[in-house]
Amino acid sequence: MVFQVVDAQCGLVDLLPTVLEVLGIPDEVQRDGRSLVPLLAGTTGVEPDDPRSRIHQTAWRYRCVGRAIQTDWFKLIEINSNYEGLRNVVQLYDVVADPHERMDLAAGRPAVVARLQAELEQLFAAAADRGVATPENRLEELDLERLRALGYVVDGHEDTSDPPPDQ
Protein backbone atom coordinates (compact mmCIF):
# COMPACT_ATOMS: atom_id res chain seq x y z
CA MET A 1 0.00 0.00 0.00
CA VAL A 2 1.30 3.45 -0.94
CA PHE A 3 0.68 6.36 1.40
CA GLN A 4 0.77 9.94 0.23
CA VAL A 5 0.64 13.23 2.12
CA VAL A 6 -1.13 16.14 0.45
CA ASP A 7 -1.25 19.78 1.53
CA ALA A 8 -4.91 20.32 0.63
CA GLN A 9 -7.58 20.68 3.31
CA CYS A 10 -9.48 17.41 3.57
CA GLY A 11 -12.10 16.06 5.93
CA LEU A 12 -14.19 13.03 6.73
CA VAL A 13 -16.88 14.48 4.48
CA ASP A 14 -14.54 13.62 1.58
CA LEU A 15 -14.24 9.94 2.48
CA LEU A 16 -17.44 8.60 0.88
CA PRO A 17 -16.96 10.38 -2.48
CA THR A 18 -13.36 9.13 -2.57
CA VAL A 19 -14.29 5.51 -1.85
CA LEU A 20 -17.08 5.59 -4.43
CA GLU A 21 -14.71 6.90 -7.11
CA VAL A 22 -12.00 4.36 -6.26
CA LEU A 23 -14.59 1.57 -6.53
CA GLY A 24 -15.95 2.98 -9.78
CA ILE A 25 -19.44 3.47 -8.38
CA PRO A 26 -21.27 6.45 -9.89
CA ASP A 27 -22.22 9.06 -7.30
CA GLU A 28 -25.29 10.93 -8.47
CA VAL A 29 -25.96 12.71 -5.17
CA GLN A 30 -24.87 16.32 -4.62
CA ARG A 31 -22.57 16.05 -1.58
CA ASP A 32 -20.61 18.52 0.50
CA GLY A 33 -17.51 16.34 0.24
CA ARG A 34 -15.41 15.72 -2.82
CA SER A 35 -13.33 12.83 -4.05
CA LEU A 36 -9.67 13.00 -3.07
CA VAL A 37 -8.61 10.79 -5.99
CA PRO A 38 -7.48 13.81 -8.08
CA LEU A 39 -5.23 14.92 -5.20
CA LEU A 40 -3.50 11.56 -5.29
CA ALA A 41 -2.92 12.05 -9.01
CA GLY A 42 -1.25 15.39 -8.35
CA THR A 43 -4.10 17.74 -9.22
CA THR A 44 -6.29 19.74 -6.85
CA GLY A 45 -9.67 18.25 -7.75
CA VAL A 46 -11.47 21.18 -6.12
CA GLU A 47 -11.50 24.89 -6.69
CA PRO A 48 -9.39 26.63 -4.03
CA ASP A 49 -12.23 29.06 -3.30
CA ASP A 50 -14.85 26.33 -2.93
CA PRO A 51 -16.52 27.31 0.37
CA ARG A 52 -17.64 23.72 1.02
CA SER A 53 -14.04 22.86 1.79
CA ARG A 54 -13.70 25.80 4.17
CA ILE A 55 -16.83 26.11 6.32
CA HIS A 56 -18.37 23.75 8.84
CA GLN A 57 -21.45 23.80 11.03
CA THR A 58 -22.45 21.49 13.87
CA ALA A 59 -25.75 21.38 15.70
CA TRP A 60 -25.73 18.48 18.14
CA ARG A 61 -28.12 19.83 20.71
CA TYR A 62 -26.79 19.33 24.26
CA ARG A 63 -23.36 18.36 22.84
CA CYS A 64 -22.02 21.05 20.52
CA VAL A 65 -23.53 23.88 18.53
CA GLY A 66 -21.15 25.98 16.50
CA ARG A 67 -19.58 26.72 13.17
CA ALA A 68 -16.11 27.27 11.76
CA ILE A 69 -14.16 28.54 8.80
CA GLN A 70 -10.66 27.49 7.80
CA THR A 71 -8.20 29.21 5.51
CA ASP A 72 -4.72 28.09 4.55
CA TRP A 73 -3.38 29.73 7.73
CA PHE A 74 -6.19 30.11 10.25
CA LYS A 75 -9.20 28.31 11.67
CA LEU A 76 -11.89 30.36 13.37
CA ILE A 77 -14.38 28.47 15.55
CA GLU A 78 -17.57 30.03 16.92
CA ILE A 79 -18.98 27.91 19.75
CA ASN A 80 -22.55 28.71 20.77
CA SER A 81 -22.53 25.92 23.36
CA ASN A 82 -20.75 22.64 23.95
CA TYR A 83 -20.51 19.74 26.37
CA GLU A 84 -17.54 21.38 28.12
CA GLY A 85 -19.78 24.25 29.21
CA LEU A 86 -18.40 26.81 26.77
CA ARG A 87 -20.98 29.40 25.72
CA ASN A 88 -20.61 32.05 23.00
CA VAL A 89 -16.86 31.59 22.59
CA VAL A 90 -14.74 32.49 19.56
CA GLN A 91 -11.43 30.70 19.06
CA LEU A 92 -8.71 31.33 16.46
CA TYR A 93 -5.87 28.96 15.63
CA ASP A 94 -2.84 29.20 13.35
CA VAL A 95 -3.19 25.80 11.67
CA VAL A 96 0.29 25.98 10.15
CA ALA A 97 2.27 26.80 13.31
CA ASP A 98 -0.17 25.03 15.65
CA PRO A 99 -1.75 22.10 13.75
CA HIS A 100 -3.05 20.54 16.98
CA GLU A 101 -4.93 23.77 17.80
CA ARG A 102 -3.60 24.24 21.32
CA MET A 103 -2.98 28.03 21.36
CA ASP A 104 -6.08 30.20 20.97
CA LEU A 105 -5.05 33.45 19.27
CA ALA A 106 -8.46 35.16 19.19
CA ALA A 107 -7.73 37.75 21.88
CA GLY A 108 -4.47 38.84 20.23
CA ARG A 109 -5.69 38.88 16.60
CA PRO A 110 -9.00 40.83 16.62
CA ALA A 111 -8.64 41.95 12.98
CA VAL A 112 -8.26 38.36 11.76
CA VAL A 113 -11.22 37.30 13.92
CA ALA A 114 -13.41 40.10 12.52
CA ARG A 115 -12.43 39.32 8.91
CA LEU A 116 -13.09 35.59 9.26
CA GLN A 117 -16.37 36.13 11.13
CA ALA A 118 -17.57 38.43 8.33
CA GLU A 119 -16.54 35.89 5.70
CA LEU A 120 -18.22 33.06 7.64
CA GLU A 121 -21.44 35.05 7.91
CA GLN A 122 -21.34 35.89 4.21
CA LEU A 123 -20.80 32.25 3.17
CA PHE A 124 -23.63 30.96 5.35
CA ALA A 125 -25.95 33.74 4.14
CA ALA A 126 -25.14 32.81 0.53
CA ALA A 127 -25.88 29.15 1.32
CA ALA A 128 -29.21 30.11 2.90
CA ASP A 129 -30.07 32.16 -0.19
CA ARG A 130 -29.49 29.01 -2.28
CA GLY A 131 -31.89 27.11 -0.04
CA VAL A 132 -29.29 25.04 1.81
CA ALA A 133 -30.80 23.89 5.11
CA THR A 134 -28.85 24.50 8.28
CA PRO A 135 -28.24 21.62 10.69
CA GLU A 136 -30.61 23.30 13.15
CA ASN A 137 -33.42 23.22 10.57
CA ARG A 138 -32.76 19.61 9.64
CA LEU A 139 -32.59 18.64 13.31
CA GLU A 140 -35.90 20.31 14.09
CA GLU A 141 -37.57 18.61 11.12
CA LEU A 142 -36.13 15.25 12.16
CA ASP A 143 -37.21 15.81 15.76
CA LEU A 144 -40.73 16.73 14.63
CA GLU A 145 -40.91 13.65 12.42
CA ARG A 146 -39.83 11.38 15.28
CA LEU A 147 -42.19 13.05 17.76
CA ARG A 148 -45.04 12.86 15.25
CA ALA A 149 -44.38 9.12 14.78
CA LEU A 150 -44.61 8.67 18.54
CA GLY A 151 -47.88 10.60 18.68
CA TYR A 152 -46.49 13.56 20.63
CA VAL A 153 -46.98 16.03 17.76
CA VAL A 154 -50.11 16.43 15.68
CA ASP A 155 -49.98 18.76 12.64
CA GLY A 156 -46.92 20.60 13.99
CA HIS A 157 -48.34 21.18 17.50
CA GLU A 158 -47.39 19.39 20.67
CA ASP A 159 -49.98 17.08 22.18
CA THR A 160 -50.45 18.64 25.61
CA SER A 161 -53.10 16.22 26.78
CA ASP A 162 -52.32 14.13 29.83
CA PRO A 163 -50.79 10.70 29.12
CA PRO A 164 -52.71 7.59 30.15
CA PRO A 165 -52.21 6.72 33.86
CA ASP A 166 -50.02 3.67 33.10
CA GLN A 167 -47.30 5.75 31.40
**How many domains are there within the chain?**
2
pLDDT recorded at residue 146? 75
* 154 domain residue, yes or no: no
* 112 domain residue, yes or no: yes
* 147 domain residue, yes or no: no
pLDDT 10s digits, 20-77: 999 999 888 777 677 888 887 776 655 555 555 577 777 666 677 788 998 888 999 9
Question: Where residue 94 sits, what CATH number does that domain have?
Answer: 3.30.1120.10
* 61 domain residue, yes or no: yes
Is residue 120 domain-shared with residue 91, that is, in the same domain?
yes
Is residue 42 domain-shared with residue 106, that is, in the same domain?
no
* 151 domain residue, yes or no: no
Name the pTM for this structure: 0.59
Q: Which residues of 100-122 are buried (b: 16+ CB within 10 A; e: fewer)?
A: eeeeebbeebeebbeebeebbee
Is residue 17 domain-shared with residue 34, that is, in the same domain?
yes
Are 82 and 65 in contact, with CB atoms under 8 Å apart? yes
Amino acid at position 15, single letter: L
Is residue 45 domain-shared with residue 81, that is, in the same domain?
no
Is residue 84 domain-shared with residue 30, that is, in the same domain?
no
pLDDT 10s digits, 96-110: 899 899 999 999 999
Is residue 71 domain-shared with residue 106, that is, in the same domain?
yes
Backbone angles phi, psi at 82, to 5 degrees: -150, 175
* 143 domain residue, yes or no: no
Band of residue 93 on the pLDDT scale cut at 50, 70, 90: very high
Are 95 and 70 in contact, with CB atoms under 8 Å apart? yes
Is residue 45 domain-shared with residue 58, that is, in the same domain?
no
pLDDT 10s digits, 104-161: 999 999 999 999 999 988 888 877 777 665 555 454 666 667 777 887 666 644 444 4
